[in-house]
Structure 1
Amino acid sequence: MPQLPSLSSLYELSTPTLGISVFVCTVIIAYTIAKMFGFGRKNEFPVEGRVVVITGGSDGMGRAVATNLAGRGAHVVVVARTVSKLQSTVEDMRRAAMNSLKQRFFYISADLTDPAECDRVIAEVTGWNYGAGPDIVWCCAGFCHPGFFTEVPISVQRQQMDTVYWTAANTAHSTLRNWLAPVPPSAQMQNPRRHLIFTCSTLAFTPIAGYGPYSPAKAAIRSLSDTLSQEIEMYNGAFTQRHRNSAPAADVKIHTIFPMGILSGGFDNEQKLKPELTKMLEEADKPQTPEEVAQISLAALERGEYLITTMFVGNVMKGTALGPSPRNAPIGDTILSWLSNLVFLQVIPDLRNKAFNWGKTNGLPNAGGFEDETPEATTPPS
């Protein structure tokens, strides 16, 4: 996952804008505290005894999510390509398990850019789960190949769309076809609802120079999530009314996580390819550990949130781009949106000016011309 976009300009604002920023901070912190310490809140994301599938579960954030869920009593299936990493993750989950005698763990090696492989994964999980589909599916697969749009071959940009967007879309399609098939009333579940979770990036809210191959794929995930959040209500309505032979087995809720920089092997590889301008725009940013991102995300899911950020600045970035997306809290998110857009009146021109001045000082990023292919980009990380 990429590092948090620069936004260092938040620390260099004029006095009036700084005052607005302080006010934004105060409002959001108060809102966050109110959300965190509400009394009598129901856990909207119970996982003990439930079956969870995590794609991209052998490394980074996916692996951290898997071990955290094991510690909360879930049965977990991790999916990735490299068997040795998957086996290591299963051992980590067994060590972290709440009850190692009752909990079950499983891994599946698959290439999720192939929709047939996603169908196979869901079918294997259903068989492993005694004929029932999984309760929760969390899409974490993907990697980032940074670079300027004209500098990165189209073949690599297609690969980014495949490994970022299509792994998530293929998994969601296979999952929802399993979950939403009509069943007779006797087969409808009494358990808590099912959850489909996408992993996106704050770059879907605020694109940054140097992420041209990657940001569009993340923006596509955010758009898919918003679309599904509407479509799913048709099926949820049918489930609520228990229409004879035309209702799914359970209702479903969609969520999307928007991390920033995550410290991992993938992040290290990304840094080797990242343009110097992009590094400069990100110099004030502080990447999080996979464990931090997993814990913050799980806490937000337990609160029932839809669009989930993992840092304060990410929340401000979300506020500028809420548009028609469902709100976690209508009043709080609306206020956040107003104030965030005031802050970004300065941030966006600042980012553009820094890119302009970089060009004035350093010239073209590739004065020798364009290359047809870059060896580093031909093979995604396992």
Structure 2
Amino acid sequence: MYSSLSSIVHGYSATTLGISVIFCGLLMYAIGKMFGFGARNEFDVEGRTVVITGGSEGMGKAAACQLAAKGANVVIVARTVQKLQDALQDIKRSAANLNRQKFHFISADLTNAAECERLIQETTEWNDGQPPDVVWCCAGFCNPGFFAETPIDTLRSQMDTVYWTAANTAHAALRKWLVPVGSDSQVPLPRRHLIFTCSTLAFYPIAGYGPYSPAKAAIRALSDTLSQEIEMYNGSRQSKTGSAATAADVKIHTVFPMGILSPGFDKEEQLKPNLTKQLEAADKPQTPTEVAKISIAALERGEYLITTMFVGHIMRGSALGGSPRNSLILDTLTSWLSSLAFLQVIPDLRKQAWNWGVKYGLPSSSSK
């Protein structure tokens, strides 16, 4: 995605500044990967129960298989029962130890808040009365198009299937996790994890994703908000007043992939405006397996905002704003370098859109 930025990464433009920015960024990123994080696994899932929405295909299924290989008990959620049944067989085949691990699927419409509450309650009952340890929100699909050319019903549907599936699931999970327990009955429990799946479009949108990118931006805003709010609950467990507190700490994470090769991606390509395809011509979509592997490794390092390729790292750096940093020094340096890179990228994207209009006219006369 973002052919301008990708082109800069590979030597786009003759300016020494652009090239220097990228080489410095690469160096800083490599150093950060080598020295920015400790060896401790911050996301140990062995013997723990993980719920993955959108787990019947794509990134959700790939993450489920990889977490099963690490010893997790896995519950996948989607609407279509047959897809869930087929996916569960693949997940079981990936398991580290079938004799110790458990697997389950739940069919649910996550745009309905009551269904999300049912999902968490059913998982808790299946899990011997204990709520899930990890909830990973992967549900949703992209319906691209120019904003003014897209019916209002489609715009609302995108918000429902992208933002509200995640928000409803997060609300149900947190309501279960944050039930206070008395100080005399508090038993130390491992940290729980709530993971959102977003998109680099939340950092910098691109023409043709008007129905989709606002919903992803809303997920990022929710994640940033929860990353602050959750500390109040986490802090309650250290309170000296002896009052009730939550049973376990909770950590929030958000993953920001770029293109992911999947059945959903194939459908997206059929709807995508030609201008959008031109603007992201240099984007090289990753496989679901690649995205899941990179994301899980970042979770194990304890990262908060997780990107899955170098261009994504640069985009994240350009839009950190008030979000918590994965690495104070590395993210600060990346932010400075990204700001310089985007001095070229932003005008170029706008110019390409203007030139498209000059050449082809309105969307209706240019076949998207």
TM-score normalized with structure 1 length: 0.92
Shift of 1:239: 1.6
Matching residue of 1:238: 236
CA contact (8 A) 1:157 1:213 kept: yes
Structure 1 residue matching 2:268: 3-state secondary structure:
helix
- The superposition leaves residues 172-203 of structure 1 with CA deviations (integer Å, 9 ceiling, x where unpaired) of 00000000011123543423200000000000
Matching residue of 2:14: 14
CA contact (8 A) 2:140 2:161 kept: yes
Matching residue of 1:121: 119
- What are the equivalent positions in structure 2 for 1:314-353 lying under 5 Å apart? 314-353=312-351
Q: Could you say if the C-alpha distance between residues 294 and 177 of structure 1 is closer, same or farther in structure 2, counting changes exceeding 3 Å?
A: same
Give yes or no for the alignment of 1:81 onto 2:82: no
Structure 2 residue matching 1:253: 3-state secondary structure:
strand
CA contact (8 A) 1:9 1:347 kept: no
Matching residue of 1:27: 28
- What are the equivalent positions in structure 2 for 1:75-114 lying under 5 Å apart? 75-114=73-112
Matching residue of 2:264: 266
Shift of 1:93: 1.4
- The superposition leaves residues 305-325 of structure 1 with CA deviations (integer Å, 9 ceiling, x where unpaired) of 000000011000000000010
Distance 1:303 1:134 in 2: 21
- What are the equivalent positions in structure 2 for 1:1-382 lying under 5 Å apart? 4-6=1-3, 7-10=5-8, 11-16=11-16, 17-35=18-36, 41-185=39-183, 187-241=185-239, 244=242, 246-367=244-365
Number of aligned residues: 364
Distance 1:232 1:336 in 2: 27
- The superposition leaves residues 87-118 of structure 1 with CA deviations (integer Å, 9 ceiling, x where unpaired) of 11111111111010010000000000000000
- The superposition leaves residues 12-55 of structure 1 with CA deviations (integer Å, 9 ceiling, x where unpaired) of 223222222222222222222334xx6x6211001000010000
CA contact (8 A) 2:189 2:247 kept: no
Q: Could you say if the C-alpha distance between residues 257 and 233 of structure 1 is closer, same or farther in structure 2, counting changes exceeding 3 Å?
A: same
TM-score normalized with structure 2 length: 0.96
- The superposition leaves residues 234-287 of structure 1 with CA deviations (integer Å, 9 ceiling, x where unpaired) of 000002337545201101000000000000000000000000000001111100
In the alignment, structure 2 segments of 5+ residues that lack a partner are none
Structure 2 residue matching 1:316: 3-state secondary structure:
helix
Distance 1:5 1:242 in 2: 51
CA contact (8 A) 2:77 2:84 kept: yes
Root-mean-square deviation over aligned CA pairs: 1.6
1:106 alignment partner AA: H
Distance 1:162 1:188 in 2: 37
CA contact (8 A) 1:8 1:283 kept: no
Distance 2:210 2:96 in 1: 42
In the alignment, structure 1 segments of 5+ residues that lack a partner are 371-382
CA contact (8 A) 1:201 1:259 kept: yes
Structure 2 residue matching 1:355: 3-state secondary structure:
helix
- The superposition leaves residues 117-139 of structure 1 with CA deviations (integer Å, 9 ceiling, x where unpaired) of 00000010111111111100000
Q: Could you say if the C-alpha distance between residues 90 and 368 of structure 1 is closer, same or farther in structure 2, counting changes exceeding 3 Å?
A: closer
Shift of 1:214: 0.2
- The superposition leaves residues 61-92 of structure 1 with CA deviations (integer Å, 9 ceiling, x where unpaired) of 00000010110000000000000111111111
| Residue identity (%) | 64
